[in-house]
Structure 1
Amino acid sequence: MNHSAFKRRELLQAAAGATALGTLPQVFAQGNFDWKRYAGQSLEVHLIKSPRGELLQRHQKEFEDLTGIKVGAEQMPEQQSRQKTVIEFNSGRTSFDVVHLSYHVQKRQFAKGKWMEDLRPMFANAAPPDFDQKDYSAGGMFYATQSDGRIDSLPLNLDPWILYYNKELFAAKGVAYPKSYAEILEAAKKLHDPANGVAGFVGRGLKNANVPLWTGFFLGWGGQFFDAAGKLATETPEAIASATLYRDLLKTTGPAGIAGYNWNESQSLFLQGKAAMWIDGSGFAPPLEDATKSKVVGKVGYGVMPPGPKAQVSATFGDGIGVSSFSKKKEAAFLYIVWATNKAMQARMLATGSGAPVRLSAYGDKEAIANLKVPAAWLTAVAESLRIAKPGLPIIEPVTEFRDVYGIALNNMLTGGDVAAELKKATAEFAPVVAKSES
């Protein structure tokens, strides 16, 4: 990725000369590739209810007209989707040909069952000339690639965590954007003003939801979820130091009741102008710039996570789309996922704020940039964050249990629990769970 391509000036210049999004180039008919080769077939597509799912359904007719393939698509809330897909995959028959998945929860689970088709043979034999596999970001392809080398999905969206900050509050107290983890805490303390109802920092304190905030700091400390021998490494000095920062930020500079805050409470406080900093997923930006909801329109800064003591990391999550191994129409289903993740669709995703595209080309698309619903600074932060992206949760089957166990430990720290003791207890509780899942 070209670093300079994402500087604010270049982005604004690109936006200034762009045309409407409706004229996004559709470069489908290339060479001798026959998009109609499976015309007359029908596909069932299972989507997670999300902005990405809505975008795909909104443009579904484009795929149908292009290929002559009829699509039946459903969107289902994430929890119900997880239940449905596991039941159907375990039965050996799926009602869907194409499946949308959350990598941070389902990647390892789907891999163990080999529930999705290995796409590598299709890349060479069934992909259109404009497929351009190298255009997918390294972070996206990391998620899409299993440990045995199989690529059993195409990445659709990445959600890097960024630092939102209130520029007005920073300027009023002469505080500079933090350049390290220590400076995040230092800035939060300077900006914390409970007498005026302003928290120096807000973030997730609610158990389970809180884990990604801690793990982001953990990765910046150079932490690894497992050591070289495969042993759980969540009571190490890096784990303790990062959890201590988590506790200190929320407990000493957060709002009252922080232990009950999820992303929505954090966002609400920030958009009211009552929090100086907030770390969370990049997809939460649009409401901050909506004058009907936000008191901080035009005052929000979008920053890349500062370096930790050992590494600069943006904890990142993502989703992808693949072909069911039980589908009888794998080749037609492959065409759908290629279309779903093509350059035009990814540019639309960016422009509508439906997610952070995994295709690098989207971030240089003039028309998408011209139609951004958030400032160009957000795009810069997202693009730079994707360069330092690492999965924010361990890629294991019992990831929900991981969040539950460590979420309780973090919550206990906010209410007086000793950091090292809580991590030791959580590690002892979770170790047999993960060991059983890998046996």
Structure 2
Amino acid sequence: MKFKSMLLGAVSLGVMTGLVHAETITIATVNNGDMIRMQGLTDDFTAKNPDIEVEWVTLEENVLRQRVTTDIATKGGQYDVMTIGTYEVPIWGKQGWLVSLNDLPESYDVDDLLPAIRGGLTVDGELYAAPFYGESSMVMYRTDLMEKAGLEMPEAPTWDFIAEAARAMTDKENEVYGICMRGKAGWGENVAFITAMSNSFGARWFDMDWKPQFDQQAWKDTLTFYLDLMKDAGPPGASSNGFNENLALFQTGKCGMWIDATVAASFVTNPEDSEVADKVGFALAPDKGLGKRSNWLWAWSLAIPAGTDNEAAAKKFVEWATSKEYLELVASNEGWANVPPGTRTSLYENPEYKKVPFAEMTLQSINSADPQHPTVDPVPYVGVQFVAIPEFQGLATVIGQQFSAALAGTITADQALRSAQQVATREMTKAGYIK
């Protein structure tokens, strides 16, 4: 009898010990195709780490940004791994809000990360996030519609050529629109796109004294050009269209051209998802001949909030999801074209990946973006399609609403820019930037 109770006690202890060691990590991520694919492959991680369970919280981009920002700023502790971008990492890293990843094992090969991408995730020599995919932006276009319009896309087009081609390709009766560009309000949606565009027009958010520049001609030229082109050649309801909405329009044959993230290339050329997969060409983001193209630099990355109770388990997940082995896992399941792009040098040296039609254009676009010198005239900030200061997120959210309202036709370009100038001046004065 005594032996039986000892045995039961040992079994109970074993069960309890098992329960103690089965950690659950909660991962907050964005509802983009590559992240959805990662969730589908989670079994590979849990098979290798049977003592870790994974819970996913998948959110639309604007909602994700809001939730993770609130959670980390209030030390809410809801998430063990957060999907954040190149904007948040340097600011949050400096605040001590993120766990350093400098102790990832040697097998991870941190030196293989693309320098431009790794640099944006490093603060004072500490890597604070691991890139899941890196991107710039480029032109994706319908080769058949370009040919029908009697035009040939240059590898490095100007905005004037894009405008001419967009108008020539538009056939509103058959619901084909010459160009799709982001119109949905959000600092990572329409503001990212229009800011990158404005760089090529010679505009900037602030001068060297942090004075807002929305009252300058370069901004008027940018916004007017964007609004006129979208009015003539864009789809209806464009003020509600962000990355995912435009992706769906392009995949269903409704866009002649789409200027957006290089990461979209695998989705528009995948015959399972895209009706135009065999008719897509690629070109660099447009310029205005001033020495800056309108391409951005971004990485959706995995970071661990400081104070998580599951730091070791979270690190294992981050290492798995951003490793060379993960890229090979995706390739073996879905082909090299569907591998998360823009993070590792070895990927672009891989002979199999070199065959992917958009690989070289993606790398060229990423390497040509310069967050240290994003504009034609000098600026006191870094960041290509954003300004890397804490105030930018709130400020750009309000300005994005103005730009979206102008696209919807409820206010004029002049009114949107006047409002942007007033809001930016007030906020930058309040924050002490403007003396």
Aligning the two structures, in what range does the TM-score lie when normalised by the shorter sequence?
A: 0.7 to 0.9
> 1:113/1:183 Cα in 2 relative to 1: closer, same or farther (>3 Å)?
same
Distance 1:197 1:88 in 2: 42
What is the number of equivalent residue pairs in this alignment? 387
Structure 1 counterpart of 2:99:
117
Whether contact under 8 Å (1:60, 1:71) holds in the other structure is: no
> 1:185/1:155 Cα in 2 relative to 1: closer, same or farther (>3 Å)?
same
Q: TM-score, normalised by structure 1?
A: 0.74
Distance 1:198 1:286 in 2: 22
Whether contact under 8 Å (2:38, 2:321) holds in the other structure is: yes
Structure 2 counterpart of 1:3:
none
Structure 2 counterpart SS, 1:238:
helix
Provide, for residues 256-307 of structure 1, a one-character-per-residue CA deviation record: whole Å limited to 9, x for no partner.
Answer: 4433433444334433433321112233345534556544231111222133
Q: Deviation at 1:195?
A: 5.0
> 1:353/1:395 Cα in 2 relative to 1: closer, same or farther (>3 Å)?
farther
- Which runs of at least 4 in structure 1 moved beyond 6 Å after TM superposition? none
> 1:86/1:250 Cα in 2 relative to 1: closer, same or farther (>3 Å)?
closer
> 1:224/1:344 Cα in 2 relative to 1: closer, same or farther (>3 Å)?
farther
Residue of 413, 416, 420 corresponding to 1:422: 416
Whether contact under 8 Å (1:348, 1:368) holds in the other structure is: no
Unpaired runs of 5+ residues, structure 1, are 1-39, 371-375
> 1:59/1:430 Cα in 2 relative to 1: closer, same or farther (>3 Å)?
same
> 1:222/1:154 Cα in 2 relative to 1: closer, same or farther (>3 Å)?
farther
Distance 1:417 1:275 in 2: 26
AA aligned opposite 2:348:
Y
Distance 1:284 1:177 in 2: 19
Structure 2 counterpart of 1:27:
none
Structure 1 counterpart of 2:7:
none
Provide, for residues 119-144 of structure 1, a one-character-per-residue CA deviation record: whole Å limited to 9, x for no partner.
Answer: 34x2xxxx433333332113322331
Q: Deviation at 1:429?
A: 1.2
Residue 94 in 1 paired to residue 72 in 2? no
Residue 401 in 1 paired to residue 394 in 2? yes
Structure 2 counterpart SS, 1:315:
coil
Residue 228 in 1 paired to residue 184 in 2? no
Residue 177 in 1 paired to residue 170 in 2? no
Structure 2 counterpart SS, 1:100:
strand
Structure 2 counterpart of 1:164:
140
Residue of 17, 22, 29 corresponding to 1:48: 29
Structure 2 counterpart of 1:204:
182
Residue 188 in 1 paired to residue 181 in 2? no
Provide, for residues 95-130 of structure 1, a one-character-per-residue CA deviation record: whole Å limited to 9, x for no partner.
Answer: 65x42232156336633641112334x2xxxx4333
Structure 2 counterpart SS, 1:301:
strand
Distance 1:231 1:349 in 2: 47
Whether contact under 8 Å (1:100, 1:321) holds in the other structure is: yes
AA aligned opposite 1:119:
L
Structure 2 counterpart of 1:364:
349
Structure 2 counterpart of 1:353:
338
AA aligned opposite 2:58:
P
Residue 106 in 1 paired to residue 82 in 2? no
Provide, for residues 25-71 of structure 1, a one-character-per-residue CA deviation record: whole Å limited to 9, x for no partner.
Answer: xxxxxxxxxxxxxxx785625231544545555555655666x6722
> 1:156/1:289 Cα in 2 relative to 1: closer, same or farther (>3 Å)?
closer
Structure 2 counterpart SS, 1:175:
coil
Highest CA radius of gyration, 1 or 2? 2
> 1:412/1:47 Cα in 2 relative to 1: closer, same or farther (>3 Å)?
closer
> 1:253/1:82 Cα in 2 relative to 1: closer, same or farther (>3 Å)?
closer
Q: Deviation at 1:91?
A: 5.2
Residue of 229, 233, 237 corresponding to 1:249: 229
Q: Deviation at 1:352?
A: 6.5
Residue 321 in 1 paired to residue 302 in 2? yes
Structure 2 counterpart SS, 1:298:
helix
Distance 2:256 2:275 in 1: 13
> 1:346/1:167 Cα in 2 relative to 1: closer, same or farther (>3 Å)?
same
> 1:301/1:80 Cα in 2 relative to 1: closer, same or farther (>3 Å)?
closer
AA aligned opposite 2:108:
F
Distance 1:149 1:333 in 2: 21
Provide, for residues 162-199 of structure 1, a one-character-per-residue CA deviation record: whole Å limited to 9, x for no partner.
Answer: 21111111112221215212211122233334355432
Structure 2 counterpart of 1:261:
241
Provide, for residues 375-432 of structure 1, a one-character-per-residue CA deviation record: whole Å limited to 9, x for no partner.
Answer: x322233222211235422233354434432223323443275434421321211343
Whether contact under 8 Å (2:68, 2:82) holds in the other structure is: no
> 1:48/1:352 Cα in 2 relative to 1: closer, same or farther (>3 Å)?
farther
> 1:242/1:87 Cα in 2 relative to 1: closer, same or farther (>3 Å)?
closer
Whether contact under 8 Å (1:273, 1:296) holds in the other structure is: yes
Unpaired runs of 5+ residues, structure 2, are 1-20, 372-383
Structure 1 counterpart SS, 2:364:
helix
Identity of aligned residues (%): 21
Distance 1:118 1:337 in 2: 12
Structure 1 counterpart SS, 2:89:
helix
Whether contact under 8 Å (2:405, 2:411) holds in the other structure is: yes
Whether contact under 8 Å (1:105, 1:397) holds in the other structure is: no
Residue of 101, 115, 123 corresponding to 1:138: 115
